[in-house]
Amino acid sequence: MIPAMYLVGLGAILFCLGLVGVFTNKNGIIVLMCVEIMLNAVNLNFVAGALHYGDVTGWVFAVIAIAIAAAEVAVGLAIFLALFGDRKTIVLDEITTLKH
């Protein structure tokens, strides 16, 4: 069996990759994808925990998280579609309405 430490370490690396991706990418779609990576990193942690402790709760949480992530992606894409319809762009640096 793979030690839980490896799985958690992989989850942390994936999470950091996702985080850096969120910071550095300008394209909204890619940012959304990075968020997905972070969510899956968390799912990996849940699964690792479930394996390690032999507890089913972690799997249940992971399944719920996947379902919610799917819904979130749908909402996120819908927002970007609407944004593109309005602003003709989904480059995040050009959407600075909050500043003003």
**Binding-site ranges for another protein (CB under 8 A):** 19, 22-26, 31, 92-93, 95-100
Closest CB 68 distance from another protein, rounded Å: 19
Calculate the CA 51 to chain-centre distance.
22
Is the CB of 26 or the CB of 87 nearer to another protein? 26
CB atoms within 10 A of CB 21: 17
Closest CB 4 distance from another protein, rounded Å: 21
Is the CB of 24 or the CB of 57 nearer to another protein? 24
Question: Residue 53: which of 61, 13, 16, 39 has the closest Cα?
Answer: 61
Calculate the CA 83 to chain-centre distance.
20
